[in-house]
């Protein structure tokens, strides 16, 4: 009697001997097998995703951080430089009659830069070979007085004007997109001027970017980790762009390519949740 009860209980709870032909009583074992298969598949997917993600996306820190000086003292020196250059060009002054301090000033600031806000200057640069044909953004702040915060400000080669995202909160997920023609020279360095650098107060009161995710043709490419400084922050990258450049006709027929910069994390401003980027610009190959 006891043995029969045990067998019935075993049947009821799915512990039927494996050698017995399968029927509906086998279901608990099938469910267990199915569960194991599902777990194995999910684990494989997660593992694959981690490997793929790890291979595709680089976590980059700046290879240099060159601090910028927009203080009143620096502005006064630039103004003195402008005055000296104007006297030199009009013949009122020559190099030998300048004091060593004046000569030092001209050597420090050069003559290719238009003013203190000029990023690239009129000399030879990667921009002689072109640059992005368009800069767009997912949002931007409405103009305030004579200031605007349009996406083009992120690439006007001028430190004074900034792009500021226009959504409420800290703009996580907001994006800037740079479009390049197929013939654009290749990029080996992305340089970011973080925050609204036109003044110390504008920088501190507005928010800055801590991490930017870069997409190449909409595919994740790298994460840039930015320092909280008024500076040019340079990130070296493997050449981005078209490398087959000898056949110009063929190159021209290739599609445009894009670099997208997405805000991932921020340094919070003292007053505003407006996140600013004064400039993202480039250096690279294929020029001269």
Closer residue to Ca ion (CB): 156 or 286: 156
262 binds Ca ion (CB under 5 A): no
Residue 166 to residue 175: CA distance in whole angstroms:
11
Binding-site size, Ca ion (CB under 5 A): 9
Closer residue to Ca ion (CB): 25 or 152: 152
* Contact region with Ca ion (CB under 5 A), list: 19-27, 109-117, 155-163, 218-226: 155-163
Could you tell me if 219 and 260 are in contact, meaning their C-beta atoms sit under 8 angstroms apart?
A: no
Q: Least CB distance from residue 158 to Ca ion, whole Å?
A: 5
273 binds Ca ion (CB under 5 A): yes
242 binds Ca ion (CB under 5 A): no
158 binds Ca ion (CB under 5 A): yes
Instruction: Return the residue of 131, 132, 151, 171 that touches Ca ion, per CB under 5 A.
Output: 171
Residues 6+ apart with CB under 8 A from 58: 221, 222, 223, 237
* Contact region with Ca ion (CB under 5 A), list: 7-15, 59-67, 130-138, 272-280: 272-280
Q: Least CB distance from residue 280 to Ca ion, whole Å?
A: 9
Please report, as ranges, the residues that interact with Ca ion according to CB under 5 A: 153, 156, 158, 161, 171, 273-274, 278-279
């Amino acid at each position: 009697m006891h043995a029969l009860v045990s067998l019935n209980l075993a049947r009821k709870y799915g512990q039927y001997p494996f050698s017995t032909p399968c029927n509906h009583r086998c279901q608990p074992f099938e469910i267990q097998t199915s569960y194991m298969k599902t777990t194995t598949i999910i684990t494989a997917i997660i593992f694959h995703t981690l490997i793929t993600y790890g291979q595709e996306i680089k976590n980059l820190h700046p290879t240099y951080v060159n601090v910028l000086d927009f203080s009143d003292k620096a502005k006064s020196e630039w103004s003195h430089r402008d005055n000296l250059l104007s006297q030199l060009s009009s013949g009122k002054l020559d190099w030998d009659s300048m004091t060593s301090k004046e000569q030092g000033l001209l050597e420090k600031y050069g003559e290719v830069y238009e003013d203190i806000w000029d990023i690239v200057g009129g000399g030879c640069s990667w921009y002689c070979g072109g640059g992005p044909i368009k800069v767009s953004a997912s949002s931007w702040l409405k103009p305030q007085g004579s200031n605007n915060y349009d996406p083009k400000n992120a690439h006007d080669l001028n430190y004074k004007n900034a792009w500021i995202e226009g959504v409420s909160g800290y703009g996580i997920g907001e994006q800037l997109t740079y479009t390049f023609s197929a013939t654009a020279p290749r990029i080996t360095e992305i340089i970011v001027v973080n925050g609204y650098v036109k003044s110390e107060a504008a920088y501190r009161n507005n928010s800055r970017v801590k991490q930017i995710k870069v997409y190449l043709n909409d595919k994740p490419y790298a994460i840039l980790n930015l320092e909280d400084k008024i500076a040019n922050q340079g990130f070296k990258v493997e050449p981005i762009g078209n490398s087959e450049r000898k056949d110009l006709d063929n190159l021209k027929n290739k599609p445009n390519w894009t670099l997208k910069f997405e805000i991932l994390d921020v340094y919070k401003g003292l007053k505003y949740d407006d996140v600013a980027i004064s400039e993202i610009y480039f250096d690279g190959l294929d020029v001269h």
